[in-house]
Amino acid sequence: MIVKDEFLSKLRRYFNLNLYEVKIWTALLSRGVSTAGELSDIANVPRSRSYDVLESLEKKGFVIMKLGKPIKYIAVPPTEVVDRVKKNVRVGADEAVKRLDNLKNTDVLKELNSLHTQGVDLIEPSDLSGSLRGRHNLYNHLELTIKNAEETVTIMTTAQGLMRKIEGLSPVFEQIHKRGVKIRIGAPITKEAMAAVNEVSKFAEVRNTDNKARFCVVDGKEVVFMVLDDTEVHPTYDIGIWINTPFFARALEDLFELAWKEMKPVAKEIKN
């Protein structure tokens, strides 16, 4: 049996299998019914491991052990395997979420918060900085920073960045708006973004600009800025910098204030 390594790698990612599991499984699919020894030879997997691998695949719902001797294994149809894996993923995710929810009411979280609070007291605010790699991590930290805002949130972003932020951060904008936080967003406003802009305008003031920049200033203290053009970088390789420095944050906010006066309110853009 010849199966390309690229195909095996895809199967490993899709079904969360290790290399031996995916080799034995594809070997069994090619035979339909087979013994552990035969599959070991076909898949080039050590015979001493083939039984453990088949037992693992059986527990995951990929194979069925046939009654009788010698012991043989039957391949479950791939479409059925997909349904079983989906079900297992849902069950696993639900259990993980339930465990994390229950953690909020335990002493474990209190101890973790205590450790973090004590640690923060020992370091200088200027030392609170770091790099953020990947747009997913970037937006996770951006959400955390904005969620803790007490007075102001100032955002400068791109056309695509505006749509991403409205889609992913609108609930946070609404939450902090109810606490009285002032939110301002400057970005190039495209026709595609107008519906989303009208929605977020309930919580934030949005203005149109031709300038290109990607940063967020919270309370004139914390800054998250992205160093690359989002139209020229893959989300996986996007990079951001987070720093806690009132000196730089206020300087950046002052520059934004000057640009803000030149930006056009979205309401005027709609009329035109």
Domain boundaries, the chain: 5-82, 122-271
Residues whose CB is less than 8 angstroms from the CB of residue 29 and which lie 6 or more positions away in sequence, other chains included: 75, 78
Residues forming beta bridges with residue 153, ordered by sequence position: 183, 218
Work out the average pLDDT over 77-86: 90
- Cβ count within 10 A of residue 240: 23
- Classify domain 122-271 by CATH architecture: 2-Layer Sandwich (3.30)
SS3 state of residue 222 = strand
- CATH code of the domain made up of 5-82: 1.10.10.10
Q: Please give the model's pTM, rounded to 2 decimal places.
A: 0.58
Indicate if the pLDDT at residue 19 is higher than 50. Answer: yes
pLDDT of residue 271: 37
What's the residue count for the chain? 272
What tokens appear for 235 in the block? 């989300």
* Mean pLDDT rounded to a whole number for the chain: 87
Indicate if the pLDDT at residue 106 is higher than 60. Answer: yes
pLDDT of residue 269: 44
pLDDT of residue 127: 52
What tokens appear for 227 in the block? 């160093």
